Structure 1
Amino acid sequence: MLARMLQNEFRRKKGITLTLFIFVLLAAILVASGTRMIIELTHSIEHLFTQSKTPHVVQMHSGELDRYKVNEWTQANELVDQYQIVDMINVDGSHVYFGAESEKGSIMDMDFVVQNKDFDYLLNMNNEKVQVNNGEIAVPVYYLQEKQLQLGDHVVIQNGTFNRSFRIVDFVRDAQMNPSIIHSKRFVISTHDFQMIQHNTGETEYLIEFRLLDPSKTNEFIQTYQHAGLPNSGPLVTYSLFQLLNALTDGVVAAVIIMVSLILIVIAICCIRFTMLATIEEDYREISVMKAIGISGRDIRTLYLSKYVVIAGLACIVGYLSSIFVNRLFTSNIMLYMGIAPTTWLNEALSLFAVAAIFAIVLGCCILVLRRFNQISAIEGLRSGSLGDTNISTMKLSLSTSRWSRSVPIFLALQDVIQRKRMFQLILLVFTVSTIIIIVPVNFLNTLRAPSFISYMGVGQSDIRIDLRYSEDVEQRYTELLEHVRTDNDVLQYSPLVTSQFNVRNNEGGYDHLSVETGDFNIFPLSYLSGSAPKTDNEIALSDTNSREMDKKVGDPLVLIVEGREKTVIVSGVYQDVTNGGKTAKALLPYDKDRVLWYVVSLDLKDASQIRDKIVAYEQAFAPAKVTDLQGYLHQTLGGTIDQLKRVTIAVLIVSLLVSILITSLFLRMLVAKDHGDIAILRSLGFALSNIKLKYVTITLILLSIGVLAGTVLANTVGPWIISAIMSSFGASHIEFVINPWQAYILCPLLLASAITIAALLSIQSIREASIVQMIVE
């Protein structure tokens, strides 16, 4: 009987059965893809770190290095398992060529290294140790993506009379410096070529790297290192921070996919409910006949449930298999930058569990809806052929006094919406949620693209940013740069900023390193979550991440070591910063020139049209300074994240429109089936089919208008809160959307409205020409 029933269902109700299958399929694909992406991201990072033997602690250092002192201290430290000092040659981008043009406009530090011997291996695209010969080079995957490089292409270093060409033989995955948000990239060359470059160009910098016997004692080790007076002229980075920075780009995208997946699952459940209600309406007489001949309600429910078990089960299986291929769309960046970790049974088990959860939710929904069989009376069903409307509001409109009295179909539509509010709640919810999941990713994408997003990176908005990294004469170059800017008549205003390291007392009474930017923060101000910029040398502003980790709020004291003495400063404000792991600070303090990390000069021009020419002029005058405009800085830092989010946004838009079209079709099929008798009465009163169809289109448009309005409001209020929750772990806990009115208020709602209107017009074609007697009998 079940086999015959299923066969008849596919023949008689191909549309409804196929739609139900599609919705469960979509839900299964989305949840399986989202789950698999999170798993693959986690496992890929773990695999990359394992294969490369990523150090647990890295102290970056510029300037002279006492290797003997570091070695002696390390040998006596019981926490250390392995250690090494990595020499890097930092070559200015203006001397590096991937083609005809140099990389003088790049914000990335280009560091040339040899492969490490003991750990911190630089890996190729198979996650194996990179090996190169003389004249060969392995280039970071960042440039593979940005410059569309290929094996066999050449990289040229040219500085004056020195000219050296390298052939690209591999691309590098670097656990420390993979993501674009880290402005340093390591190129692997041979020992012979390294020595040649070292003697002819660039500045030597160092990575003092440690692997610990017990990684849980990282903080204890850092405290010991900092108190030993060892080289520390640069940031100190930990294993956990490397993990966070590697997860940033794909982690944000994965979080957005999971969020959208969960919302779409809710919509899918609503769709299933509509589908089943429509099926019950169409099968009402058959169900009544089965009850009349003695088949129990329980047996009837079992028959129907078996049908949905088969459909949902098949959809979940196909959805799970499809997710394997769909997932490649979202994991392409993971595969490029980290590779795919070997698949384990846990990977598939979790994805299968997620799909099984969808199957269980579908069955639970089916069981709840099938309880309606208890309300079906055999006699009433055979007499009326309809379950009838329940919970109809007693509120009615008067046709004679209504302003819509000249358009009776519109009046009837309004009255229908008012009287049957409960019936329309779910379709209204779907329209609202569809609007939200279309607009929120679009707004987030526009926010990442906007120049104002620079404020979430702890940087004020300016026309041009000039970065000076460490070199032997950096102090002199910085002084010359300031003098030049000060006398430049084209400059409207400028702000010199110096980032250096200070020791800050922690809650345990020891001292940690704190990167503090010093300068005037009123020229190019930031937006503060609380408080304001420091105005005196007794105040300090903390990044949101530092504020939470240090448990310091506005007004709380903080103890720093300034010029060799303890100095208590008060937290004046808290700002957002997604760079450097979100751990920065700003103050008006005298800095130690020996502990400077970098110098920055931000400036505005009197004539913004001169930005490109002025960038070129400053690059030539102050090479190897990195001179960028705001948009270029954002693109080089967040370009990969923006591209990933753009793909997700397009996918979400397509899925949301598809879901809205299908559920509109289902809803109108159900409504027309339920109102069959009312339609017959309207026809008997002389209403044309066009007027009856207008009534149902109007109902859809009324609900759509309310849903789009509510969805737009929620997308621009609740949406930033959702995105802020995702971004809080990366240092930005309060995102404010930059809204493009044309896209958010016109284009997106218009796309949704157009798709739903077309679906409504096609769906109501089921209201056919027929004799009045035939319609009443049916």
Structure 2
Amino acid sequence: MRAVWALCRASLYRKKLQNGLIALLILLAALLLGTSATVLSNTDNLFNDVHKRTNGAHQILTITKGLHDPQQLYQWWNEQEGVAASEPVAFRYLSGVSYKGEELPNLYVMMMDTPAQPPSVDRLLFAAGEVEEAPKPGMAWIPTSLAYTQGIKAGDMLSFKTGTGVFELRVSAVFIDLPFGAPFATTSRIWMNHHDYMQIMEEQEGRDSYMLGLRFQDYERQGEYWESFERHFDMPYLEEKVEFEEISAFYLILNRIIGFVMIGLGIVMMLIGLFTIGYTISDAILSNYRTIGVLKSTGLTSARIVGAYALQYAILATAAIIPGLAISRFASALILNNSLSVLKTSESNAAALHEGGGLAVAAGLFLLLLVIGCLLSFSGKIKSVQPAQAIRYGMSEAQSGRMARRLGAGITFGRWPIKAVIAFKHIVKNGKSSLLVAALAAMTTAVLVFSCVLLNSIISIKQTAAEWGYDTADISVSFYNKEAYSSDEFESVVRGDARVKDAGWLTLLNGVLPSEKGALGSASISLGALDGSYDQLGFTVLKGSNPVHRNEIAIGINVASKFGKEVGDTLDIYIEGRKHTMLVSGIYQAIANMSNSARIMADALKVSGETGNHAADVAFINLHDYGDAEQIVAELNGKYPQSVTAATQQALLDSEFKEATAVLIVPLGMLALLFVGVTFMIIYSVCRIAVWKESGTYGIYKSLGMTNASIRGAITLGVAVLTLIGAGLGIVIGIFGLPGLLKSLLLDYGIAKLPLILPPISIAVASVVSAAAASFGAWHASRWLARTSPRILIVE
């Protein structure tokens, strides 16, 4: 055992740089795997913890059309065993919220009438400000999703537009609002004092809407309750219903994307580390072949020599994994605090709620076992060392013959430039390290390209808005106070404007799909009825076509999947209590509502004697010249200040997706820097080893008159060629491979095909950065040749 420890200690001491690099690779692999495991586990844990603390709802029922009696609904659900229901809360929709004199873009609010008693379901969890049973007169409570994104604090003043004027409320508290406070939320609940609500809202035209929450002891049985509901009332629930999956979806999506990417890249980093360990052991065996032969000839067994290597790398792996896992807790806390900031309070944050350490430790132990298995596999070659051949050739006799034949073939001096020959021989003689260099270049380029493509696709989402399920109209106009304006007048103003190319008018409704055979309960979906052309406004489909006739419907991919529908099938749907049988004309993807939605023509609302006047909720306007968009938006907002909110499409998309960019840029940037740094360090190390092994050959080159720069340039040239080959493969992986990791994840959110925008300049820069890091590592590794005389090199 003393001999094993002596060999291990000597190897650790003599190869500090090489051992340090391997330890760093293992540390980074542990960091990525530990961070991804912790982020994925804690994302669900944090959300579920808040959901439990607030006795959160599994379903939110919103009654806006008057198709159900709110009190009747509450009484029936309150009588069901295993279900808790909150009393109906009255509210009114508003838009046009201003902070510090500036209107907040793409924000719609529900002004809630705070009940005298706190609700039993979906209780509010205060994050900052005064904790009271209800807001005081002139005060309001706002959600963290609005406060944190806009920088609003307790004590700030907000202004609200109504049909009769403007009123102000001071923020007295900020709370966590699970059902409507997820990242990317465009709707916020503002809780008002009851007397303020009665005084201000009751003066407005229109009627109250109502909201109540349902919480099930066993959420898996909710379908049975809805089946019982339909039997009792002899009809399905006809108004809007928000499911638990929709409530939780956007709390989880970014962290799941980050976690999945980190797992994939952590595995890649782990494989690189294992390959490097295997290469290092093989190189050590080859470099110390005579030494191993001498040791075996003196009676030291193969098992003890293998034990020396095993002990060495087990020490390195343990020393690297422990700090890697420790750092991963800080990294995951940073990501969680950044992406789930809406769940933070003044007393607690994502880091304080941090769990999942056991999963990270399991990942670290798995990594340690892989390292030990790898080194045992590679160091097993020591058993085949024959002492006589080792002492004579410095390698096996067969290896010696193969090496001679390989170096004698291909590019030779006299027929090719001397730099090319040196570069070629450097690549061929160091086959494993050459493969490692190409693989590193490929993965580094892939990470850089993927990061650029993903961020560019989100930043430039206007170019692919239709593929995310949005329109591509130049201007969007929302009508939030329909009683305060004339829809006919507004339409005539828009259509009479010579700058307007075409326009469409969208009515937002709730559709109910009755349960199919073998399914429990009906499904509530978001329904858009358009007076205009879907194609002209930029809405796209994956299959078939958008509806054109009043009996046609296009459905989201999740609706099609749940009900087993394809283009050409018929679909029964209840719209405002009336049953319609429609032909599926197309299937589309949309991240909004997770593709649980459908499109119909406005004429469909008049089927079966429908005569009601459906005022549009949104108008889409296309212009002859997009340069007029800002001016027209200002004119519309100025002409109808109490009833409409107009904005350019770019402003709406920016307000919704800038948060995604801010959250993703930190982890993707960290991964890119890690891989660039690792590429430099590994290539520096393997080139340093290769140059040291061939120091005698390079000494001869110098003695024959070659300059230091020529030799170093030839070595760098070989690495650059390998890097370019790897970079080409990395571009393909970054564009097609890594985005493919997200397909199964995004499908749950209603996206079957990830819309990507390729930035050619950024991709080229990413490739150059990867090649530059590798080439600089090779150049830097050979710098000691310039400081050493040819005689010393030859002697060594």
TM-score (norm 2): 0.88
Correspondence for 1:217: 221
1:490 matched to 2:499: yes
Q: What CA distance in whole angstroms lies between the structure 2 residues aligned with 1:317 and 1:217?
A: 44
CA distance in 2, matches of 1:504, 1:722: 32
Does residue 430 of structure 1 match 2:440? yes
* The one of 676, 684, 687 aligned to 1:665: 684
Q: Secondary structure at the match of 2:87?
A: strand
Paired residue secondary structure (2:729): helix
Q: What corresponds to 1:137 in structure 2? A: 140
CA distance in 1, matches of 2:575, 2:589: 25
Q: Does the CA-based 8 Å contact 1:465-1:629 persist in structure 2?
A: yes
**Is residue 551 from structure 1 mapped to residue 556 from structure 2 by the alignment?**
no
Shift of 1:87: 1.9
The whole-number CA distance in structure 1 between the counterparts of 2:438 and 2:612 is 64
CA contact (8 A) 1:391 1:422 kept: no
Alignment of 1:247-266 (within 5 A): 247-266=252-271
Map 1:517-596 onto structure 2 (within 5 A): 517-519=528-530, 520-561=533-574, 567-588=580-601, 590-591=604-605
Q: Which range moved further: 160-169 or 145-154?
A: 160-169
Asked if structure 1 preserves the Cα contact closer than 8 Å seen for 2:226 and 2:522, the reply is no
Counterpart of 1:44 in structure 2 is: 46
Tell whether the 8 Å contact from 2:526 to 2:593 is kept in structure 1 after alignment: no
Does structure 2 retain, via aligned residues, the 8 Å contact 1:138–1:188?
yes
**CA contact under 8 A between 1:32 and 1:323: conserved in structure 2?**
yes
The one of 766, 769, 785 aligned to 1:748 = 766
The answer to whether the 8 A contact 1:274-1:670 is kept is: no
Which of 333, 357, 361 is residue 328 of structure 1 equivalent to? 333
The alpha carbon displacement at 1:29 in A equals: 1.0
Measure, in 1, the Cα distance between the counterparts of 2:504 and 2:402.
Answer: 67
Corresponding position of 1:502: 511
1:734–1:366: structure 2 CA closer, same or farther, 3 Å change rule? Answer: same
* Deviates further, 559-568 or 269-278: 559-568
Tell me the amino acid that sits aligned with residue 649 of structure 1. Answer: L
After superposition, the Cα gap between the structure-2 partners of 1:771 and 1:159, relative to the gap in structure 1 and judged at 3 Å, is: closer
**Residues 130 and 172, structure 2, Cα contact 8 Å, conserved in 1:** no
1:615 aligned to 2:633? yes
Written as runs of structure 1 = structure 2, the 5 A alignment for 1:297-376 is 297-339=302-344, 347-376=356-385
State the secondary structure of the residue aligned to 1:528.
coil
Instruction: For 1:604, give the aligned amino acid.
Output: N
* Separation in structure 2 between the aligned mates of residue 434 and residue 646 of structure 1, nearest angstrom: 17
Query: Is structure 2 residue 767 aligned with structure 1 residue 765?
Result: no
Task: Report the count of equivalent residues.
Answer: 769
TM-score of the pair, normalised by structure 1:
0.90
2:295 & 2:223 partners in 1: Cα distance?
Answer: 73
Note the 1:679-694 alignment, pairs <5 A.
Answer: 679-680=698-699, 682-683=701-702, 686-694=705-713
Distance 2:775 2:356 in 1: 42
CA contact (8 A) 1:278 1:673 kept: no
Aligned residue number for residue 243 of structure 2: 238
User: SS in structure 2 opposite 1:97?
Assistant: strand
Contact 1:69–1:230, Cα closer than 8 Å, also in 2:
no
- Corresponding residue of 2:150: 147
State the Cα distance separating 1:125 from its structure 2 match. 2.6
Alpha-carbon distance, 1:762 to partner: 0.7
Superposed CA RMSD in Å reads: 3.3
* Whole-Å separation in 1 of the counterparts to 2:542 and 2:428: 44
Aligned to 1:100: 101
SS of the residue 1:767 aligns to: helix
Per-residue CA distance 1:128-185 (angstroms, 9 max, x = gap): 9775541443322123332223343333446598765544343221110122433211
- Within 5 Å, give how 1:393-404 maps onto structure 2: 396-399=409-412
- In the other structure, the counterpart of 1:473 is 483
Whether the 8 Å contact between 1:556 and 1:571 is mirrored in structure 2 is yes
Identity %: 19
Please name the residue that 1:60 is paired with: 62
Q: How far off is 1:771 after superposition?
A: 5.9
Q: Partner residue of 1:734? A: 753
1:436 to partner: Cα distance: 0.9
Q: Deviations over 1:559-587 (max 9, x none)?
A: 33479775543322221111113211122
C-alpha change, 1:284 and 1:112, in structure 2 (3 Å) is farther
Q: Return the alpha-carbon distance in structure 2 between the equivalents of residues 449 and 390 of structure 1.
A: 57
Q: Aligned in 2, Cα 1:222/1:595: closer, same or farther, shift over 3 Å?
A: farther
**CA shift digits 1:433-453 (9 cap, x unpaired):** 111111112201111122134
CA contact (8 A) 2:130 2:173 kept: no
Q: Identify which of 612, 621, 632 aligns with 2:651.
A: 632
Secondary structure (helix, strand or coil) at the match of 1:84 reads coil
Quick check: 1:117 aligned with 2:153? no
- Report the secondary structure of 1:473's partner residue: helix
Cα pair 1:465 1:630 within 8 Å, conserved: yes
- Whether contact under 8 Å (1:515, 1:584) holds in the other structure is yes
Unaligned 5+ runs, structure 2 = none
Deviations, residues 700-739 of structure 1 (Å, cap 9, x unaligned):
0010010111111232233442333331111111113101
Mapped partners of 1:642, 1:599: distance in 2: 29
Q: Name the residue aligned to 2:387.
A: 378
**Structure 2 residue aligned with 1:605, among 623, 637, 643?**
623
CA contact (8 A) 2:91 2:110 kept: no
C-alpha contact (below 8 Å) 1:554/1:573 kept by paired residues: yes
- Deviates further, 369-378 or 63-72: 63-72
Q: How far 1:597 sits from its partner (Å)?
A: 10
Q: Give secondary structure in 2 for the equivalent of 1:435.
A: helix
Structure-2 separation of matches of 1:606 and 1:425: 56
- Secondary structure at the aligned position of 1:716 is classed as helix
**C-alpha spacing 1:131/1:382, structure 2 compared with 1 (3 Å):** farther
Change in CA separation of 1:97 and 1:521 when aligned onto 2, cut-off 3 Å = closer
Question: What secondary structure does 2:189 align onto?
Answer: strand
Shift of 1:71: 4.0
Deviations 1:467-513 (A, max 9, x none): 234x5638x64443322221111111222222323333442287433
Mapped partners of 1:525, 1:361: distance in 2: 51
The answer as to whether partners of 1:181 and 1:579 remain within 8 angstroms in 2 is: no
Deviation at 1:698, TM superposition (A): 1.1
Q: Would the alpha carbon gap of residues 67 and 721 (structure 1) be closer, same or farther in structure 2, given more than 3 Å must change?
A: closer
Tell me which amino acid in the other structure corresponds to 2:561. R
